[in-house]
């Protein structure tokens, strides 16, 4: 067994032991021609990717996308449905669940966050390289001083996550842009858990399973590649809705 196969198997094993929205995405069924990864009768199902597994090459490789989406994200969806079955969260939307969850709701917190975060992440990636609009550039410059300062601050937020987690650009309740990071699958919609609350408009997954097959332990290399694959049209749409 070579290193690539070993990493693949360990990634799959990690997904299996997790007790680990975009409600329109997070509750949509797979696209025609794609396998059904979760029960369509369940409250939440795995959303289909809006592009092929290999569409983000060379920035994010095909094998990583297959495992990340079909195994890791699918595990979050299954475990979330199991965790909420018959309980107080069962009738809520994903956003409502995240707003309500506390640190006592471990399985719902981990898997609800994992489902939301990944459902958002797929939409924020683009097979074709895009450039941000003048409106986004102006908002970024106003908030952070320059585009370069913004990139540096975001990169630092992603690099300094200890272990697994996410880097975010959010619109705060005061309608300001901010950059934060969160551990594990926490996100800015978890009002009872996170310190910095807001509406996410950009997110980067820095769990090792998101990049290790291609970039190994070089997280900064993966972060740089991410800038080549951002769907800036989606970022602007979310920014407009938030402000």
Please report the pLDDT score of residue 98 as a whole number.
97
pLDDT score of 8: 42
**Number of other residues whose CB lies within 10 A of the CB of residue 80:** 28
Supply the CATH classification number for the domain 3-49+61-123.
1.10.287.990
Instruction: Summarize pLDDT for 82-106 with one digit per residue, the tens.
Output: 999 989 999 899 999 999 999 999 9
Over residues 38-47, the mean pLDDT reads: 76
Nearest to 177 by CA among 234, 238, 125: 238
Q: What is the pLDDT of residue 68?
A: 97
Q: In this structure, which CATH number among 3.55.40.20, 3.20.10.10, 3.40.50.360, 3.40.1160.10 belongs to the domain 134-242?
A: 3.55.40.20
Q: Give the global pTM.
A: 0.84
Task: Provide the pLDDT confidence category of residue 59 given band limits of 50, 70 and 90.
Answer: very high
pLDDT for the residue 39: 58
pLDDT at res. 40: 57
Over range 197-202, report the average pLDDT: 97
Give the per-residue pLDDT at 31. 37
Average pLDDT, the chain: 87
**pLDDT at residue 21 above 60?**
no
- Would you tell me the crossing angle of helices 147-159 and 134-144 to the nearest 10 degrees? 70
- Mean local confidence (pLDDT), 144-166: 98
pLDDT digits (tens, 9 = 90+) for 211-221: 999 999 999 99
* Identical fold between 3-49+61-123 and 134-242: no
Nearest residue to 136 (alpha-carbon basis) of 237, 226, 205: 237
Instruction: Order the strands of the 199-205 sheet from edge to edge.
Output: 177-183, 165-171, 199-205
Q: Kindly tell me if the per-residue pLDDT of 161 is higher than 80.
A: yes
- Which residues are 166's β-sheet partners? 182, 205
d(CA 44, CA 19) in angstroms, rounded, equals: 16
**Domains of the chain by residue range:** 3-49+61-123, 134-242
- Using CB atoms within 10 A of its CB, is residue 177 exposed (0-12), middle (13-18) or buried (19+)? buried
| Paired strand residues for 199 | 171
Q: What is the pLDDT of residues 27-36, one digit of tens each?
A: 433 433 344 4
178 beta partners: 170
What pLDDT is attached to residue 10? 41
């Amino acid at each position: 067994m070579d290193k690539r196969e070993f990493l693949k198997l360990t990634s799959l094993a990690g997904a299996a032991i997790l007790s680990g929205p975009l409600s329109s995405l997070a509750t949509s069924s797979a696209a025609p021609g794609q396998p059904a990864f979760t029960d369509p009768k369940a409250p939440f199902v795995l959303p289909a990717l809006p592009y092929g597994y290999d569409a983000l090459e060379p920035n994010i490789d095909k094998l990583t996308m297959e495992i990340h989406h079909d195994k890791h994200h699918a595990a979050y969806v299954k475990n979330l449905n199991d965790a909420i079955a018959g309980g107080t969260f069962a009738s809520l939307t994903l956003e409502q669940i995240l707003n309500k969850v506390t640190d006592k709701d471990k399985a719902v917190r981990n898997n609800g966050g994992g489902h939301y975060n990944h459902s958002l992440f797929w939409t924020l990636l683009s097979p074709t390289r895009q450039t941000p609009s003048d409106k986004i550039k102006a908002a970024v410059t106003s908030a952070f001083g320059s585009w370069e300062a913004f990139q540096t601050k975001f990169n630092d937020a992603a690099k300094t996550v200890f272990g697994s987690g996410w880097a975010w650009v959010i619109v705060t309740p005061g309608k300001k842009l901010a950059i934060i990071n969160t551990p594990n699958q926490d996100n800015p919609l978890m009002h009872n858990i996170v310190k910095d609350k807001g509406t996410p408009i950009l997110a980067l997954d820095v769990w090792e399973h998101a990049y290790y097959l291609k970039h190994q332990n070089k997280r900064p290399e993966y972060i740089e590649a991410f800038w080549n694959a951002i769907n800036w049209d989606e970022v602007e749409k979310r920014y407009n809705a938030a402000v």
